[in-house]
Amino acid sequence: MSEQQRTTFIELFHRRIPQYAAAAAACMGGFSLGCGLGWSAPCVEMLRSKLDDFAVNVIASVFPAGAALGTIAVPLLVDRIGRKWTMMGLVPIIIVGWILLISAGRLVSFYVIGRILTGACGGMCCVLAPMYSAEISEKQIRGTTGVFFQLLLVIGILYVYVTGFTRNVIAISSLCCIAPIVFGVTMSYVPESPLYYLIKNREEDARKSMQFFRGSKFDIELEINAFKEQVERSKFQKSNLTAFMKLPLLKTLGVAYGLMFFQQFSGINAIIFYGYSILEATGVGMDSQLELVILGSVQVVACVAAALLVDKLGRKLLMVISLATMCVCMAALAGFFVLTNYQPHIADQIHWLPLTSVCVYILAFCFGTGPIPWAYMGEIFPTRLKGVASSSAAFFNWLLAFVVTIAFPSVAEVLDYFVVFAFFALLCALAILFVIFCMVETKGKTFAEIEQAYGTHMLAQNEEPYSMQ
């Protein structure tokens, strides 16, 4: 890099700091979600000493059910009170959820309600944070800020894994309760999305918001005019069942749903929710809590790499690399359990394989399959339909997560771990084909260009036939 290029890069970075900071503030909801997701791994085994197995499995798996329910509320609020204030309204609810977990003791109902509340708010953040990040970011860095959600999420998971060394459910839950407080404080300092202000015909507020994110010396007219044109076109978009039956939007929804399906059936939540139990089952011998911290650290490293590369390599390439690596790791893990059952002396000689496979798998997941579907969802849907479409895809994702987490212990017990992991490996392989043939690259594209690529721009023109460009 030449001196001039280095100077330009530094100047651009400094000018874009408000965009990075605001995206990170919104994605603190992801940090809180990560605490909820990661809570099960250390706490499930601790709870087994005072609760029966069925109750513990319900407590572990009810979190994604709550997240699925939470996504239903997003379309009712996001275009009425805004992206920022919808997120701010979640803060007291998350705090109440953690207080219930802190005070639960042996009361299963408190655990279940607390997990549903924290899960519901986390599910809403999955839609709101990527949407907000995409709308405040320049197209050159939209992929990077889109990955922030998954980055903060995995930092949250690592945080709760570290708190697991307290070996105390109350202490872990108390430390997790700090996250929503930080979320609320940081969000209070950033403006609402300029696109939301334009939807509400508040052009002066939109200009102030855009100027905050772009810097006082940046000419915002080009972007403001593009947003205004987008909002004008969106006035023809009706958020009703008929609109969602149009071929271009069905195609866009199909891609979003497909990415969510393959994300969940890659096996990630089985690893996250039952990581402690899986690592215990390998019989490797290392302290499983330490192994969890190693896994959490790997996730953070991978998400940092994804944030640095997503706007350079593109979404599709990162997804293919990620899925191919995950496929190999799941196959290796399945093979290890086969050896454990039939050739234990060979399994003893390769005791390093399970932890290595799980680490590389999580690294690969966080490199592409984890962050990109959420970031991509904030980019591809038309303005007026974004809330409903994104929420429906998020609902589908969390519904699948609930199915995987509730079914995994029973299926693994009946069919054995090697069958389950072989199934996950097969689906990772099928996902590669889906990404190659169905996913449209959004790297460096404006929202208008993305709509043209999917053909959804025709919805705003109220024309037939609907193109499948």
Residue 242 maps to which CATH number? 1.20.1250.20
Choice between 120 and 450, residue whose per-residue pLDDT is larger: 120
pLDDT of residue 353: 82
pLDDT of residue 414: 83
**pLDDT over 50 (residue 131):** yes
Taking residues 5-20, report their average pLDDT.
86
Q: Which of 76-85, 99-108, 299-308 has the lowest mean pLDDT?
A: 299-308
Q: Is residue 449 part of a domain?
A: yes
DSSP letter for 220, please.
-
Please state at what angle helix 142-163 crosses helix 108-136, rounded to 10 degrees: 160
Q: What whole-number distance in Å separates Cα of residue 258 and Cα of residue 254?
A: 6
Per-residue confidence band for 279, with pLDDT thresholds at 50, 70 and 90: low
CA dihedral over 290, 282, 62, 31, signed as positive or negative: positive
Q: What whole-number distance in Å separates Cα of residue 353 and Cα of residue 339?
A: 11
Choice between 237 and 7, residue whose per-residue pLDDT is larger: 7
Closest to 365 measured CA to CA, from 297, 293, 263, 270: 263
Q: What whole-number distance in Å separates Cα of residue 454 and Cα of residue 439?
A: 10
Q: Is residue 354 part of a domain?
A: yes
Q: How far is the CA of 193 from the CAs of 90, 201, 205, 223, 389, in angstroms?
A: 18, 13, 10, 13, 19
- The answer to whether 119 and 65 have CB atoms below 8 angstroms apart is yes
Q: Is residue 300 part of a domain?
A: yes
Strongest mean pLDDT among 3-7, 183-187, 441-445: 183-187
**Residue 380: other Cβ atoms inside 10 A:** 25
Choice between 383 and 124, residue whose per-residue pLDDT is larger: 124
pLDDT of residue 237: 60
Own/partner pairs for 346-350, CB < 8 Å, 24+ apart? 347/283
Q: Is residue 200 part of a domain?
A: no
**pLDDT over 50 (residue 463):** no
pLDDT of residue 214: 92
Taking residues 334-342, report their average pLDDT.
84
pLDDT of residue 459: 64
Rounded to 10 degrees, the C-alpha dihedral 135/202/461/143 comes to 0
Q: Is residue 216 part of a domain?
A: no
Q: How far is the CA of 429 from the CAs of 213, 269, 432, in angstroms?
A: 40, 18, 5
pLDDT of residue 230: 83
Q: What whole-number distance in Å separates Cα of residue 338 and Cα of residue 347?
A: 9
Choice between 120 and 273, residue whose per-residue pLDDT is larger: 120
433-451 burial: b if 16+ Cβ within 10 Å, else e: ebbeeebbebbebbbeebb
- The answer to whether 42 and 276 have CB atoms below 8 angstroms apart is yes
Q: List the structure tokens of 312.
A: 């350079």
Closest to 122 measured CA to CA, from 19, 259, 28: 28
pLDDT tens digit string along 365-376?
988 898 899 888
Taking residues 213-223, report their average pLDDT.
89
pLDDT of residue 273: 57
Give the percent of the chain with pLDDT over 90. 41
Q: Is residue 231 part of a domain?
A: no
Taking residues 36-49, report their average pLDDT.
85
Q: Which domain holds residue 33?
A: 3-190+236-461
Taking residues 299-305, report their average pLDDT.
86
Q: Is residue 229 part of a domain?
A: no
pLDDT of residue 234: 73
Backbone φ and ψ for 462, nearest 5 degrees, come out as 55, 45
**pLDDT over 80 (residue 39):** yes
Q: Is residue 201 part of a domain?
A: no
Domain count, the chain: 1
DSSP letter for 165, please.
G
The residue length of the chain stands at: 469
Q: List the structure tokens of 444.
A: 């460096």
pLDDT of residue 176: 94
Q: What whole-number distance in Å separates Cα of residue 5 and Cα of residue 318?
A: 26
pTM: 0.81
pLDDT tens digit string along 226-264?
888 888 877 766 666 676 778 888 889 999 999 999 998
Closest to 91 measured CA to CA, from 118, 131, 115: 118
- List CB contacts of 244: < 8 A, sequence separation 6 or more: 250, 253, 385, 388, 389
pLDDT of residue 238: 61
Per-residue confidence band for 274, with pLDDT thresholds at 50, 70 and 90: low
